[in-house]
């Protein structure tokens, strides 16, 4: 029986595939390669196609005996979602609907889902708990919340069990050096900062210096991608053991401002990393920091690389060895 990983050629998906393979699991990846890379799929079978193509998905479920799905495939950029809401509803909400229908027709009833801190919006309290208010401030978070709700109703009607993992900000790369972050165009803070250190950009833009935070820049909770991968294996185990549907935050519980991230990157790389202060980017909450107590208690999940310095050093190892990502 195989684990079907949608978006498995992408950043977090490819690290989770590596973890599944390391534990001897059979893996099938579905990816349309809009962001993913063939080279990022280091084993298993890659089926290239789109979630929204019902014939393609039916064929994938016919060809492979699937026991559970891990669903990463989505459009996932806060800034872009504020300019292209239609793309986000179509790829994320309609895409997940197509996936759930294909699963239902194939009799597959377990799904681990990539949700996000963006489902919360401006937090009621910090650190954020799973029971806190969900009121997204951007289209991306709104679509992810809709996807969570959709799974809930498929559970009620069809017994589809889901674990929704609300991750905070993923960063870092695989210890082997074989896989890492390679988005085109890149929009994430840490890889952009490291591109400055590599001499590929002159400076890093800071989006907003007037937030209600200690230094005025946005605060995020950065979590190592391999710690996220480990959480997916634990969530999968919960479902395959017959566990009920659940929602978990995944973060380290410590927030770092944009300026603090740049400062740590200066220490790690030895580069001065010049910065320029720009206006706010639409849709960004000021502070997102996780309480991951529930994942710790119920999944036994303990991040192994919780220090921001180690996370950035891990990303730096990948980016300095692969300055053009999978192109070399």
Ligand X SMILES: O=c1ccn([C@@H]2O[C@H](COP(=O)(O)OP(=O)(O)O[C@H]3O[C@H](CO)[C@@H](O)[C@H](O)[C@H]3O)[C@@H](O)[C@H]2O)c(=O)[nH]1
Ligand Y SMILES: NC(=O)c1ccc[n+]([C@@H]2O[C@H](COP(=O)([O-])OP(=O)(O)OC[C@H]3O[C@@H](n4cnc5c(N)ncnc54)[C@H](O)[C@@H]3O)[C@@H](O)[C@H]2O)c1
Q: Which residues are catalytic?
A: 140
Cα gap 138→118, rounded to integer Å:
7
Q: Out of 2, 3, 4, 7, point to the residue binding ligand Y (CB under 6 A).
A: 7
- Per-position DSSP letters for 85-125, written without gaps between them: HHHHIIIIIIHHHHHHHHHHHHT--EEEEEEEGGGT-S-SS
Q: Give the tokens for residue 22.
A: 């390391």
**Torsion sign, CA atoms 228, 233, 236, 242:** negative
Sign of the Cα torsion 192, 232, 51, 154 reads: negative
Among 3, 4, 12, 258, binds ligand Y (CB under 6 A): 12
162 binds, among ligand Y, ligand X, none (CB under 5 to 8 A by kind): none
Residue 294 interface partner, choices ligand Y, ligand X, none, CB cut-off 5-8 Å depending on type? none
Number of residues that bind ligand Y (CB under 6 A): 28
Q: Is 9 in the site for ligand Y (CB under 6 A)?
A: yes
Per-residue contact flags (x/-) with ligand X for residues 248 to 267, judged by CB under 6 A: ----------x---------
E strands, the chain, in order = 2-6, 26-31, 45-48, 66-71, 110-116, 161-167, 169-171, 204-207, 219-220, 222-224, 246-250, 256-257, 275-278, 287-288
Would you say 102 or 128 has its CB closer to ligand X? 128
205 vs 317 by CB, closer to ligand X: 205
164 binds ligand X (CB under 6 A): no
**Using rule CB under 6 A, residue 154 touches ligand Y:** no
Binding string, residues 173-192; x marks residues near ligand Y by CB under 6 A: ----------x---------
Dist. CA 240–CA 14, nearest whole Å: 21
Instruction: Choose which of 5, 27, 68, 74 interacts with ligand Y (CB under 6 A).
Output: 74
Distance CA 248, CA 213 (A): 26
Question: Which residues contribute to the site for ligand X (CB under 6 A)?
Answer: 76-78, 116-118, 168-169, 187-189, 192, 204-207, 218, 220, 258, 281, 284, 288
Question: Which residues contribute to the site for ligand Y (CB under 6 A)?
Answer: 7, 9-13, 30-36, 50-52, 72-74, 76, 91, 95, 114, 116, 167, 169-170, 183
């Amino acid at each position: 029986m195989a684990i079907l990983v949608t978006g498995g050629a992408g950043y977090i998906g490819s690290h989770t595939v590596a973890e599944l393979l390391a534990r001897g699991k059979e893996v099938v990846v579905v990816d349309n390669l809009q962001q993913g890379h063939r080279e990022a799929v280091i084993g298993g079978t890659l089926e290239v196609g789109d979630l929204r193509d019902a014939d393609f998905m039916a064929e994938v479920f016919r060809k492979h005996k699937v026991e559970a799905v891990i669903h990463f495939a989505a459009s996932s950029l806060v800034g872009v979602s504020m300019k292209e809401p239609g793309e986000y509803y179509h790829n994320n909400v309609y895409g997940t609907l197509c996936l759930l229908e294909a699963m239902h027709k194939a009799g597959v009833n377990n799904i681990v889902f990539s949700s996000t801190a963006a489902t919360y919006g401006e937090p009621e309290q910090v650190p954020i708990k799973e029971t806190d208010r969900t009121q997204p401030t951007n289209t991306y978070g709104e679509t992810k919340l809709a996807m969570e709700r959709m799974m809930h109703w498929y559970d009620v009607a069809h017994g589809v069990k889901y674990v929704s993992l609300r991750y905070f900000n993923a960063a870092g790369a695989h210890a082997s050096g074989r896989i890492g972050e390679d988005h085109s165009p890149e929009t994430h803070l840490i890889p952009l900062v490291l591109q400055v250190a590599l001499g590929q950009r002159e400076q890093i833009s800071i989006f907003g210096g007037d937030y209600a935070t200690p230094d005025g820049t946005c605060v995020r909770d950065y979590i190592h991608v391999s710690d996220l991968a480990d959480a997916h294996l634990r969530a999968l185990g919960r479902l395959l053991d017959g566990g009920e549907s659940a929602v978990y935050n995944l973060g380290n519980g410590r927030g770092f401002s944009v300026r603090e991230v740049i400062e740590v990157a200066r220490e790690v790389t030895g580069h001065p990393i010049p910065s320029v202060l720009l206006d706010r980017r639409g849709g960004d909450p000021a502070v997102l920091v996780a309480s991951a107590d529930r994942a710790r208690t119920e999944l036994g999940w303990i991040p192994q690389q919780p220090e921001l310095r180690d996370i950035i050093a891990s990303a730096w190892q990948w980016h300095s060895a692969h300055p053009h990502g999978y192109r070399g």
